[in-house]
Structure 1
Amino acid sequence: MRKASTIFFLVLFVLAQTELHQLMKLPVLIEHFIEHRQLNSSITLLDFLKEHYQGHTVMDNDYQRDMQLPFKTADCLTAISFVFEEPVSIEFEQQVAEIRKEYNLHKGSFSSSQALHSIFQPPRHA
């Protein structure tokens, strides 16, 4: 449900804020091409597109119909403003806290030679 609503709102935003909503007028383009084809059967799609989109717009009998074609008029006005500010530099003072702890793991009367002497002894005969 969330995915579907996200896609819906994304499509709604794109169609409202860009000229992509002009693509919804493609059926009008096809119908108008068929109308021209009925008047002149030798006209190709490329000739039709050149006539209606390349160069100066001709004020002929079907001018109102020509203006209904996609991308003939711009009806999407979107004002987008960007604000650029001077970057602010923030400096932090690095403070190093040093903690010294001394641990005495050995007793003062501890002798390492005595410990080794009691652990490592030669083998005994039975």
Structure 2
Amino acid sequence: MFRRRTKARKINHLSELDELAASGKPVLVDFMQPNCAPCRVMDGIVNEISDEYGDSAHVVKVDVQQVEGAAMKFKIRSTPTLIVLAKPPVKKRKKVRHGDKPPGEPSVSQRWRTTGLVKKDQLQQILESNGASRV
């Protein structure tokens, strides 16, 4: 009758974030602090997004005070900061030129970033443009 809502996963080490990013699914990362009022507002929105997208995207929270090196690695200056990590779309090439590298597996990159409050529909649009789908 009622289904249990899934919440965003809390990350304790940056290595966990690297593992999720390597999975091929888009990763929405919410860099937050527990004593930040806008972070608490975004907490509910991020949890709703996590529930809506289920297994098609990873939705995680990173407490910049608890996870060592997170603020420095991602250059977090204020919270909440939201980032989407994903593999860029593969472009078809017409010809392979002499000296070009053969097409390989594209690496994960930062596809989107913002700081402050964000509307839920904007987060949905970003995730869907990076390959996520609603459950």
Question: When the two structures are superposed, what TM-score results if normalisation uses the length of structure 1?
Answer: 0.19
Question: Which structure features the higher share of helix residues?
Answer: 1
Question: When the two structures are superposed, what TM-score results if normalisation uses the length of structure 2?
Answer: 0.18
Question: Which structure features the higher share of strand residues?
Answer: 2
